[in-house]
Amino acid sequence: MVQQGLITINGYVGSEPASYGKDAPACSFRIGCTRRYFDNATKQWKDRPTIWITVKAFRVLAQNVLKSVHKGDPVVVAGSLANEQWERDGETHSRTVIEAAAIGHDLGLGTSQFTRQKSATADAASRDAQQTVPQGAAPAGSAPSAQALPADPYAAQAAAGVQGGQQPQQFGNTNSAETYPAQEEEFADAEI
């Protein structure tokens, strides 16, 4: 069984992604990760030394990274660990890199807007489907029409440009018996 060193890491992009590769799109950039710890003696948070890792992306992922990711962006990278070796001036050098399977902005630190990349194949298939389906009919195996689905309030807000300023909705356990009357009954017989 082959084992891969899979890793997910978050940090800040330290260099503008650089394109390379002749046969297929590829890019690389450096990501800096600084772990923090709480020093009980000083009662303050302190930084550990920053770890710098090279991230490599290939094919469509590389194309999208070059359009979307920039120096200073907070990102989350998931991929496989790899070790690169090369010779320079008679000496062997090596470094650990992450060959990325997925890269995205860290939404815990800001917002981002997704734009689906269209492919020529998908565009052609969409045109073919529109030409072969009679008006008002849905192709076999397709999703129900938009009229049959309930309205999505979040999509309506996004379309109207509503951003922030609203009170967040509470989810999960709010520790209120008024909010969750069954909660009191469910745990009434539990021993603590």
188 to 12, 119, 177, 184: CA distances (angstroms): 48, 57, 12, 6
pLDDT of residue 172: 47
Residue 178 has pLDDT above 50, yes or no: no
Residue 146 has pLDDT above 70, yes or no: no
Residue 176 has pLDDT above 70, yes or no: no
Residue 28 has pLDDT above 70, yes or no: yes
What are 11's two structure tokens?
A: 């940090």
What are 127's two structure tokens?
A: 């045109």
> Of the ranges 71-85, 97-111, 126-140, which one carries the lowest mean pLDDT score?
126-140
Model confidence over 102-131: pLDDT tens digits?
999 999 999 988 888 776 555 555 555 555
Q: Which residues of 58-80 are buried (b: 16+ CB within 10 A; e: fewer)?
A: beebbbbbbebbeeebbbbbebe
- What is the pLDDT averaged over residues 75-97? 93
- What is the pLDDT averaged over residues 57-86? 95
pLDDT of residue 94: 92
CA atoms of 82 and 2, how far apart (whole Å): 14
Q: Tell me if residue 124 falls in helix, strand or coil.
A: helix
CATH number among 3.40.50.1580, 1.10.260.40, 2.40.50.140, 3.40.50.720, domain 12-108: 2.40.50.140
Q: Let me know: does 26 contact 20? Beta carbons within 8 Å.
A: yes
How many other C-beta atoms are found inside a 10 Å radius of the C-beta of residue 30?
A: 18
134 DSSP 8-state letter: P
pLDDT of residue 6: 83
Beta bridge partners of 39: 44
Locus of tokens 């890199």? 97
Residue 7 has pLDDT above 60, yes or no: yes
pLDDT of residue 118: 75
CA within 13 Å, CB half, 167: 3
pLDDT of residue 21: 82
Q: Tell me if residue 25 falls in helix, strand or coil.
A: coil
pLDDT of residue 117: 76
* φ, ψ at 148 (rounded to 5°): -80, -15
The overall average pLDDT reported for the chain is: 76
The pTM of this model reads 0.59
Q: Tell me if residue 113 falls in helix, strand or coil.
A: coil
Percent of the chain with pLDDT over 70: 59
Sign of CA dihedral 170, 174, 177, 181: positive
pLDDT of residue 100: 97
Residue 185 has pLDDT above 50, yes or no: no
pLDDT of residue 131: 52
